Amino acid sequence: MVKVTLKARGQQFEYDCGAAETPLNAARKQFIPIPTGCVRGGCGMCKVKVLSGEYEQELIRSHDALSDEDLENGFALACCMTAKSELEMITVEDYAKLIDKANLEEAK
Amino acid sequence: MPRVMRIGRVELKVLDLEKSVDYYTKIIGLQETGRMGDSVYLKAWDEFDHHSLILTKSNTAGLAHLAFKVETLDDLAYYEKQVEKFGCTTTRISRGARLGEGEAVHFILPTGHHCELYTEIDFLGTAVGTLNPHPWPLGAQGIAPHRLDHCLLTGDDLKTVTRFFIEALNFRQSERITSVDGEELLGSFLFTTNKAHDLAFVKGPDAKLHHAAFFVDSLHDVFKAADILSMYEVPFDVTPTRHGITRGETIYFFDPSGNRNEAFASGYMTYPDMPTITWTEDKIGQGIFYHRRELSESFMKALT
C-alpha cells in the first residue's frame, strides 16, 4: 500500500493505493473525483502529470491519449498504471491551470 | 432520387488486435469472417453481407472509416457526383483493397471523419438462412446483436455536416438539439432508413468517435447484455436506461481500446415526411438520459 497525493478539480486529495490496483481505481473506491472515462487507455480523460514517485505505465495505450513524448515527460494514464512508490500527481486540467498561473506570475 | 440503403460498416482502430477480436466475438457475439493484414472482419448473426465491423490494429483508438451501402452501381455514381457537387473531394477505393469488398467512393465529412459509399460486398447470409428460418440461432455467444445499428460522431460544424447528409446523400433529420434560442446546433440525428437514426453528431472535437451501436430486440435484451458485460467485467459508461431522443433503450460500455459501444433497442420508426423533433439545451439531460435527467462527465468527454 502506498500513499498517493492527487491534485484534481482545484483540490488536493491523499489516499492509499494497493499494489494490484490502479491509482484511478483506488481513488474512485474512496469517492475521490478523479476524471474517469473508458479506463482502457483509449480516451485520455484520466491523464495525469506525475510530479514525484516511481510508477509503471502500461505501454499498450492510445498514442492520442498519451504520446511517446508525454510518456518521456512524466505524463501517465491513471487507469492503466501502477504505483511503485509514494506518488504525487496532478490531473492535466489542473496542471494546465497551474502552468497558466505560473506564466501569468512571470509576466507580472 | 435513390435512397442510401443503410450504414453498412464501421472500421474501428484497436490497440491490441487479438484482445479486441476476443471481446467482439465472445462478449459482443459477432462472428469473425476473415482476416487481411492487420485487420479482422466481423458480422452479426442477422446480417447477410460479409462484414459490418472491421477491427484494425493501430496505436490510437477511434474510427478509421464508416460506410453506407447503396443499391446499385448507378446509385453509387449518382451519389459520387452529389458529394462532389457539395464540395467534398471523392476518390475511388479499388476492389480488393479490403476483404470481400468491391469499389468504394471515399470522401472526408465536414467534421473530418472518413466516410465511404459502396454497393458491392460479398454475400454470406444470416445464421438462420432464408428458407423456413428459425427466429434466432442456437448456440449464439455473448450479447449476439442483430446488426450494427448506428454511430454517434463528434464535430464542430454540425450545421454543415447536417446539410451535407440532407442535400448530398438524401438523408432526413429526425431530431436535433439546439441552444435555447434555437441559434446553435448542438446535436443532429439523421436517418436514411426507417430507424430513428442511422448516424448522429454531437458538438465536440472533429474526427472523433462517440460510440458505435449494435441493435438488440428489447429492453430485456439490453438488461441481459448488461448482465453479460458484468460477467466479463467490461467497464460501463451508462447502465440500462431510456433515451428521450429516439426513445431507445440503451446501455453504454467500452471495448478494450476505449471505443464506446452501445447495445440499443427499440426506438421509434421514421418516415421521410416526419417533422424534426427539437430538444433545447436546457432539457438535454432528459433528452439523452430520460431517467437520470442529467449528463455525466464521462459520457460527454470520453471520446476516441
As a whole number of angstroms, the distance between CA B62 and CA A39 comes to: 15
B17 with B107, same domain: the answer is yes
B80 with B167, same domain: the answer is no
Neighbours of B162 (CB within 10 A): 20
B163 with B40, same domain: the answer is no
Identify whether the C-beta of residue A41 lies closer than 8 Å to the C-beta of residue A80: yes
A106 CA: distance to closest CA in chain B (Å): 32
Query: Quick one: average pLDDT of A41-49?
Result: 98
pTM: 0.96
**Given a cut of 90, is residue B1 above it in pLDDT?**
no
Q: Which of B79, B100, B118 is the last residue of a domain?
A: B118
B210 with B100, same domain: the answer is no
Contact B15 A38 (CB under 8 A): no
Query: Quick one: average pLDDT of B239-263?
Result: 98
**Given a cut of 90, is residue A105 above it in pLDDT?**
no
**Model confidence over B174-191: pLDDT tens digits?**
999 999 999 999 999 999
**Model confidence over B199-215: pLDDT tens digits?**
999 999 999 999 999 99
- Residue in B15, B235, B298 closest to A62 by CB: B15
Query: What ipTM describes this predicted complex?
Result: 0.95
SS3 content of chain A, % helix, strand, coil (to 5): 30, 30, 40
Q: Do the domain assignments include residue B246?
A: yes
**Model confidence over A52-64: pLDDT tens digits?**
999 999 999 999 9
Residue in the block written with cell 476505449: B258
Q: CB-based burial of residue B32 (10 Å sphere; 0-12 exposed, 13-18 middle, 19+ buried)?
A: middle
B111 with B156, same domain: the answer is no
* Chain B positions with Cβ closer than 8 Å to A: 15-16, 59-62, 235, 237, 254-260, 297-298, 301-304
As a whole number of angstroms, the distance between CA B91 and CA B41 comes to: 23
Q: Residue B78: which H helix or E strand, with range?
A: helix B73-86
> Can you say how many angstroms the Cα of residue B223 is from the centroid of all Cα atoms in its chain?
20
Question: Torsion-angle region of residue B72: left (phi > 0), alpha (psi -120 to 50) or beta?
Answer: beta
Contact B15 A60 (CB under 8 A): yes
For chain B, what is the total number of helices (H) and then of strands (E)? 6, 17
Tell me what percent of the residues of chain A surpass a pLDDT of 70: 100
B224 with B160, same domain: the answer is yes
Q: Find chain B residues with C-beta within 8 A of A40's C-beta.
A: 235, 254-258
Identify the residue among B13, B27, B59, B63 best suited for mutation to test binding to A, counting A beta carbons within 10 A and taking the highest.
B59
Q: Find chain A residues with C-beta within 8 A of B302's C-beta.
A: 37-38, 43, 45
Q: Which of B118, B138, B161 is the last residue of a domain?
A: B118
Q: Do the domain assignments include residue B240?
A: yes
B104 with B236, same domain: the answer is no
B67 CA: distance to closest CA in chain A (Å): 23
Q: Any idea which residues of B carry the catalytic annotation?
A: 150, 197, 211, 243, 252, 262
pLDDT of residue A107: 84
As a whole number of angstroms, the distance between CA B138 and CA B128 comes to: 9
- Residue in A35, A45, A61 closest to B15 by CB: A61
Q: Do the domain assignments include residue B125?
A: no
- Residue in B60, B257, B302 closest to A37 by CB: B302
> What is the total count of domains within chain B?
2
Nearest to B105 by CA among B95, B124, B118: B118
Identify whether the C-beta of residue B136 lies closer than 8 Å to the C-beta of residue B128: yes
pLDDT band at A108 (very low <50, low <70, confident <90, very high): confident
Show the cell assigned to B56.
484494425
**Given a cut of 80, is residue B124 above it in pLDDT?**
yes
Identify the residue among A36, A39, A43 best suited for mutation to test binding to B, counting B beta carbons within 10 A and taking the highest.
A43
B246 with B109, same domain: the answer is no
Q: Do the domain assignments include residue B76?
A: yes
pLDDT band at A106 (very low <50, low <70, confident <90, very high): confident
Nearest residue on chain B to A64, alpha-carbon basis: B60
pLDDT of residue A2: 96
Report the residue count for chain A. 108
Q: Find chain B residues with C-beta within 8 A of A41's C-beta.
A: 15, 257-258
Query: Quick one: average pLDDT of B219-224?
Result: 98
Identify the residue among A24, A25, A40, A45 best suited for mutation to test binding to B, counting B beta carbons within 10 A and taking the highest.
A40
Domain residue limits at B185: 147-301
- Residue in B16, B256, B302 closest to A43 by CB: B302
Output the domain CATH number for residue B213: 3.10.180.10
Give me chain B's average pLDDT, please: 97
B286 with B176, same domain: the answer is yes
Report in angstroms the alpha-carbon separations of A29 from A14, A24, A33, A39: 13, 9, 10, 14
B207 with B159, same domain: the answer is yes
A39 touches chain B (CB under 8 A): yes
DSSP B3-40: PP-EEEEEEEEESSHHHHHHIIIIIS--EEEEEETTEE
Q: What are the two backbone dihedrals, phi and then psi, of residue A7, each rounded to the nearest 5 degrees?
A: -100, 120
Nearest residue on chain B to A68, alpha-carbon basis: B59
- Residue in B257, B298, B301 closest to A42 by CB: B257
Which residue intervals of B115-268 are DSSP H helices?
158-163, 219-231
Q: Which residues sit opposite B213 in a β-bridge?
A: B150, B262
B105 with B162, same domain: the answer is no
As a whole number of angstroms, the distance between CA B22 and CA B42 comes to: 11
As a whole number of angstroms, the distance between CA B281 and CA B185 comes to: 10
CATH of domain A2-107: 3.10.20.30
Question: What is the residue extent of each domain of chain A?
Answer: 2-107
**Model confidence over A5-43: pLDDT tens digits?**
999 999 999 999 999 999 999 999 999 999 999 999 999
Residue in the block written with cell 417533422: B275
B202 with B107, same domain: the answer is no
pLDDT of residue B84: 98
pLDDT band at B30 (very low <50, low <70, confident <90, very high): very high
A25 touches chain B (CB under 8 A): no
Tell me what percent of the residues of chain B surpass a pLDDT of 90: 99
Report the residue count for chain B. 304
A2 CA: distance to closest CA in chain B (Å): 25
As a whole number of angstroms, the distance between CA B11 and CA B99 comes to: 12
